[in-house]
């Protein structure tokens, strides 16, 4: 074999060795090994180029790159728990393995992104409900802002149904609740209270029941040191300010604030 042909083989062997060591690109590794086998049957670099060009291996490395990218994307979907998106990618990978030219066909991306968007919207709706729930259940029911929070809960409750999932299915799925920042007991109460809020049967008295207050106080006491450290850390990043507060005309109104002045950090 001529010198250039030998160098080409050495280059491909180096690339294959790196891919094998990294272990993240099985399709590319196979493609390089297949090309290597063909190259080793040649006597010159020119013969190598001609044989590769006239073989299925001419575009094999590029097609393998697409398959490996899809494999990485599939693993990311599996990590997130988006099995529907992962299944679409798995089918596409198998399609490429059977017919490598299918690497250049499109359409599957939109299907995957539709799945991802649905999961993201479910998480966002549940998070909005949780934020509004925490506000609504700690406000005076006569405050106009409390009704705004309840409206947000109802709107997102309906949104979940538009995504073909019920509220109870969503709160029972760890993929969607892991970012809510609730304890197990808090999540149970959230699950019980939301349907009442949506139906209009929830009462503020539920939130201020003596046993609930006592339970919350015990938890605060148990986490006193932790909460104090968080407070000190946040205070250091907070600007002090003075403001003129204008009270509402009646109990259903809201405060207005004017002439805000902040100190420099």
pLDDT in 10s for each residue of the chain, 265 residues: 788 989 999 999 999 999 999 888 999 999 999 999 999 998 899 998 999 988 888 888 899 999 999 999 999 999 999 999 999 999 999 999 888 888 888 889 999 999 999 999 999 999 999 999 988 877 766 665 678 888 999 999 999 999 999 999 999 998 899 888 888 888 998 999 999 999 888 776 665 666 667 777 888 888 888 888 888 888 877 777 788 888 888 766 777 888 777 766 5
* Cβ-contact 204, 141 below 8 angstroms: yes
Which pLDDT belongs to residue 210? 65
pLDDT at position 208 is 60
* pLDDT at res. 201: 83
The greatest distance separating any two alpha carbons of the chain, rounded to the nearest whole angstrom, comes to 95
Q: Using CB atoms within 10 Å of the CB of residue 82, give its burial: 0 to 12 exposed, 13 to 18 middle, 19+ buried.
A: buried
pLDDT of residue 195: 92
pTM of the entire structure?
0.67
pLDDT of the residue at 136: 81
Instruction: Please tell me the distance from the alpha carbon of residue 133 to that of residue 161, in angstroms, as a whole number.
Output: 18
Q: Please report, in angstroms and rounded to a whole number, the separation of the first and last CA atoms in the chain.
A: 72
């Amino acid at each position: 074999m001529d010198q250039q042909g030998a160098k080409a083989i050495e280059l491909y062997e180096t690339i294959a060795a790196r891919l094998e060591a990294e272990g993240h690109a099985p399709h590319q590794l196979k493609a390089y090994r297949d090309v290597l086998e063909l190259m080793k049957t040649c006597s010159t670099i020119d013969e190598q180029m001609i044989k590769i060009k006239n073989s299925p291996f001419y575009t094999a490395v590029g097609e393998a790159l697409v398959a490996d990218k899809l494999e990485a994307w599939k693993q990311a979907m599996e990590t997130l728990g988006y099995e529907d998106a992962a299944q679409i990618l798995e089918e596409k990978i198998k399609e490429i393995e059977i017919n490598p030219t299918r690497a250049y066909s499109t359409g599957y991306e939109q299907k995957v992104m539709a799945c991802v968007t649905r999961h993201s919207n479910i998480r966002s709706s549940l998070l909005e409900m949780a934020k509004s729930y925490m506000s609504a259940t700690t406000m005076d029911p006569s405050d106009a802002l409390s009704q705004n929070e309840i409206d947000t809960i109802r709107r997102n409750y309906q949104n979940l149904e538009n995504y073909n999932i019920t509220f109870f299915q969503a709160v029972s799925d760890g993929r969607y609740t892991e970012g809510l920042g609730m304890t197990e007991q808090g999540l149970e109460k959230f699950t019980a209270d939301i349907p009442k809020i949506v139906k209009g049967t929830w009462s503020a008295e539920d939130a201020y029941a003596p046993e609930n207050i006592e339970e919350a106080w015990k938890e605060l006491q148990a986490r006193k040191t932790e909460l104090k450290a968080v407070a000190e850390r946040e205070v250091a990043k907070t600007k002090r300010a003075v403001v003129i507060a204008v009270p509402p005309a009646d109990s259903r109104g809201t405060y207005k604030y004017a002439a805000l002045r902040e100190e420099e950090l």
